Structure 1
Amino acid sequence: MRLRTRIIIAVVIACSIINLFICFYFTKKIRDFELESLFSRIEKSTYIMKLVNARPLYNVDKEALRVNVETFFDDENMKSISLQEHNIDIDIKLERQFGVPKGIEINKSFYISYKGLKLGKMDVVYSTSLIEQKLLNFRNQMLFFTFSIIAFLVIVLIVLVNRLMQPVTQLSKVASEIASGNLERDIEQSGAGEVGELSRNFAVMRDAVKDKINDLATINQNLEKQIFLKEINEKKIIGQSNVIKSVNHFFQKSMMAQTYEGIARIFIPIALEVIPSQYCFIGEVKKDNKDFMDVLAISDQALKDCKIARIDREKFMEDGVTIRGIASRIIHQDKTIIANDPASHPDFIQFPANHIPINTFLGTPMRLGPEIKGIVAFAGKKGGYDLDDKQACKILTIALVEALSLKKKEDEKAKLEQIMVQSEKMVSIGSLAAGMAHEINNPLAGILQNAQVIQNRLKNKLPANVSVAEDLGLELDDIRAYMGKRDIFKMIDSVLDAGQRAAAIVKNMLSFSRKSTSGFIPEDISRLLDKTLELAENDYSLKKKFDFKKIKIIKEYDPRIPKIPCKASEIQQVFLNIISNGTQAMVSWKETKEPCFKLKISCDKRMVTIEIKDNGPGMKEDIQKRIFEPFFTTKSVGNGTGLGLAVSYFIVTENHKGSIEVHSRPLKGTNFIIKLPVEESLVF
């Protein structure tokens, strides 16, 4: 199934599920409200029936009794009503039939008393059939309306996805043909934007691969000529021929690698067949620190000997290594070095005491154009390394650098596609959420307003309330006492509280459609982050009864950070959401011995980067993919709405034209990376 089809299906399914949930949820809420209102009317009506019919029944005024009964029967929800007093031959009964759907029947039977005398009995039956019919019609209309909107959005989504994916699809077809060996395939390079740039880079890479293959073919031809001319160089020619075959074999296998590090792991066994060695190491210089390098891959024997030497290989693989000694000379001086007697070599003196034993060494820099990307090192060859090994190492390293460069460009392309999908998805969900919020606001306002009016007219002793009660012959204090004992005031407070919570959710939903740049002023981002820590301390201490001061805070602020144009309140909201989530995750995880936040702020020419990293339980990849979706939450019911990070995503990406990413692994903590533009022109 194609990516565009999966995107459309996913959006349709998500929208349909949300639509069905909302329709049935609100239908249930309206039904509960209508039934509660009906029960309230029934209680009032029965009370009034007792008052109104008492005197006519006492005076045996049959005509007045019939008029009263017919008047009460005007209630459309009343199925039947009867008044009986056999001693004076009074039997009045009215009844009506309801169609489908059948509702619940509510029976009320009571005696009418006057001056202490029990005069007659009334039986009243109410039915919820009309309420059920209205709810059924409302639900059908709502489903039809919302599914019509979904159908329209699907059509718009199909058009947009097809237009956006067209150049990417064409480039994918070209890549497939080139991968199959057709290096003469023309690549359209006139496109604009990232796809156009990717096409041009891909064309340059194709030409580079073609040149390398042509160079290798030329070398192969020269070697074949030398076989016939110089038998004394037969071994050398065979060796170089093996290098070429290994390079071709490596290129073929590298195209099937799933990850960047996977290419390096494929390279090691192939290289060890060409250059027989005990150890092989591939390291890449870190982008943000030229004095450290990441470990892309090491040979199996090196991993075993790391364990024997009591080296924490997991930490070694994860944290990387410091560039020093022989590695520093190779990388910083761009030299290929052979050392068959490391003990007497000055650059090997700085090795730690528990370093794996090295008796012979060969290392070459990984060069991509003018840039040194890293190092490929071999160690432990019996008899030492020679110039043939040095030449083979250089050729293999060139092939490795080309394969890594190709994989990196493919990964950047895949990441760009993922960002496009995420942006489209968030825009669609944001539009839907904003539309829903506008639709919910009006009935919600009515619920809150009427609940407040009911509370005011029942609870407060206002002149108007007292006057109406006296007209009906009631004591307002008695009514208030009855309401209190029946917990009706608590029920009204619950309605108001639930309505206010719903209003807060609606307010957050509306923020998805607000893209305002008003109020942007230059702010010190370090000061905003520190102020947010103070807010988090107070907020969390009050609500969760946890001392925020127990959390360790590590700050790494670059003192050269310029002020950036932003809305301080919105950026602080983003920081607070991330810090609050991280705090709850660390505190609730039993494995966290010392909760810690590591805050880092750095800057380049265009962007300021803020990193907020915790040492909590981390998260799985499937949760990371949905972490910024509205209403998605891993918290229990009642502890989160799933809107905090979604609002943060829109604040950073839409309002401030920045980016926000999350990097996490289970049991390894979570790191949020926020990038905000330095220049005001990039925001507006």
Structure 2
Amino acid sequence: MTGQPNACSPEELGSLFLFEKLDRGQLSRLCREGRVKAFEPGRVFAEGEPAAFFYVLLEGTVVLSRRVGADDVEIVRTSQRGVYAGAFQAYLGDRVRQAYTSSLRATEPTRFFVLPADAFASVMREWFPMAVHLLEGLLLVIQSAQQTVGQRERLLALGSLSAGVTHELNNPAAAVARAAKALRERVAGMRHTLGVIAAGPGRRDTVKTLVEIQERIAGRVSEATVLSPLEAADREDTLADWLEDHEIADGWELAPIFVQGGLDTEWLDRVAAAVDEPTLAGAVRWLTYTIETELLLNEVGDSAARISQLVDAVKQYSQLDRAPYQRADIHELLDSTLLMFSGKVGPNIEVVKDYGQSLPRIPAHPSQLNQVWTNLIDNAVYAINSAGGKGTMTVRTRLEREHVLVEICDTGPGVSPEIRDRIFDPFFTTKSVGEGTGLGLDISWRIVVNKHHGDMEVHSEPGDTRFRVHLPLTAAGTDAREAAS
């Protein structure tokens, strides 16, 4: 603490509204335990430093500010005698973090009455025990309410997202179940047909040749190119004609299977050359079972990959296997949150990802940032649904000087100017009762500003609402050491 000491006068303290009800003995005690300090223009204390003193303005002008991103935002500028700042929560002890919650500076030569935090806590408990108990109770109630509602907010979001993820998981899981049933049928048919072919006399070489063709066909299926509808129809007609010419029944049913597997009449000619005429129909049908089996195995593989992708997205979203503080890829976090929302967004909302190129990883609490994206995306979906359920949500990222910018935009009705300044207030919501707690944006603001030293703002007009989040590229102090560890 800088500044020159001055004589402390009980009379001067008693003239302040803060101390006007104290008696002479109490004022004298304050003068004994505290002191008057004169400060030149400049810093008095800084946000985040241990709250060691309680300051009461006697004379001069002061500015109280909060750190928002890279800027100090002025909260109060005053010359009113008796205003106070500093360790005014010292009487709560370890119940709250005893650090300066803002920065204070003098803009002209200024005098303060300065009381050590422990002395302030002592006189508060001795002189105003009932008031201290009331304030402690109020603090605990507020903290408990915010924690409870905040947890409720997160549970509501997770419940909503889990329903969407369950739906997304159900689709590939059902596909796997259908494919498994079909595989069982195809394999049974393959065994039966191969048994019939092998039962004839002198068929050992025939079976060996068919097995060789089958192996080549299996490889062909995995490399088959996707044809246009017109190309596929032409090839099906050609194959159906070949099957009909060789008196193979139901050729119109078999032809699409060969087309899906990437086979043409040249392959069927090889089969016809390898077997005699009575065996040809069975051999062709046996090979269709092979193609269908490979196609079904591909479907199982694709569905399993989709399930794995969803599980990875849930892990990425929840950050269950990650460090709480690390250098994170913003696009990975946004993608995992969007995937979690895929079941809730619905087909009538177009999602546009406009990602900047080569964005660096940033120091962050990934799970907390995912909560921010959850709140903002949920609000965007709600806004679009409230305007008829059809619109566009854009997720945009850019590099802006020393920050990464993330924008969540929607084409909903917008935020009216009358309430725009209140949307970040705790418990303020425009949603219907039971649909919102009013803590989503408050929690998001605290995560961005307090936890990540960033900035968060909203620009809105009908049809174009943009929540803009700026996150710094570098961490400072203990954050930097934690991110590097």
TM over 0.5: no
TM-score (norm 1): 0.26
> Would you tell me which structure has more helix in proportion to its own residues?
1
Q: Which has the larger radius of gyration?
A: 1
